[in-house]
Chains A and B, each alone.
Chain A
Amino acid sequence: DAKTTQPNSMESNEEEPVHLPCNHSTISGTDYIHWYRQLPSQGPEYVIHGLTSNVNNRMASLAIAEDRKSSTLILHRATLRDAAVYYCILRYQGGSEKLVFGKGTKLTVNP
């Protein structure tokens, strides 16, 4: 599995946008970029995924660099409930059984 690199931690203020970066320089053309987050004492939850184009959903936006070697998860207005560990994960297009979780980025949201 191709590797991803994320900062260990980030801080944000409530109601401000948050940009969470992820580097994946060895990504292959058939890898999807997924983001999951894990709230304290809970299981991970899916946030968003994309292949080449930028994606939006009700939770967040995903901006993918043109060369696909990096991506950014954007939370448009952080809330206290967004404090979590965010994981950037690559998924082979043809399918694989596991999600490969790194250590992720711990996001702290200040009131």
Chain B
Amino acid sequence: NAGVTQTPKFRVLKTGQSMTLLCAQDMNHEYMYWYRQDPGMGLRLIHYSVGEGTTAKGEVPDGYNVSRLKKQNFLLGLESAAPSQTSVYFCASSRGLAGTAQQFFGPGTRLTVL
């Protein structure tokens, strides 16, 4: 099992450009998440999905859109990148939302917006 994979690993964008980050999981998990991590800080939830075809906002959703067309994939889009979106982005998945549920994380995508 590959677990949670993310594509690409690194990306440099110019302000105003768009891009899509791809997350894939092979654990048949219902729930998927996108977090961002800024230097010296913990992770913050951007958007999440509780199943195929559903998405919901997290605590820092502005400037991002997401789609979950297939159960195993969760896409994060930046329509018009800004320097404030320079960050490391982590995707995660879990079997459930219960207090006992573990989240499994991908290796991250390091994004720089110039």
Contacts and interface: CB of A to CB of B under 8 A. Distances in A.
Interface of A: 30-32, 41-46, 49, 87, 91-104
A43 B42 contact: no
A44 B96 contact: no
A97 B42 contact: no
Given A98-B45, A101-B42, A43 B108 contact: yes
* Chain B interface residue number, banded: 20 to 34
B96 A95 contact: yes
Interface string B19-60: 000000000000101000000111111001010000010110
A30 B104 CA distance: 23
B107 A43 contact: yes
Secondary structure class of chain A's binding surface, majority of residues: loop
Interface string B65-109: 000000000000000000000000010100011111111111110
A98 B59 contact: yes
Contacts of A95: 96-99, 101
A98 B43 CA distance: 10
Given A98-B58, A102-B42, 18 more contacts: A43-B4, A43-B92, A43-B106, A43-B107, A44-B92, A49-B100, A91-B100, A92-B99, A93-B99, A95-B96, A95-B98, A95-B101, A96-B97, A97-B97, A98-B45, A98-B59, A99-B43, A99-B103
Contact of A44 (B40, B44, B90, B97): B90
Contacts of A98: 33, 45, 48, 58-59
A30 B99 contact: yes
B99 A46 contact: no
Contacts of A41: 108
6 contacts: A44-B43, A44-B90, A93-B98, A98-B45, A98-B59, A101-B42
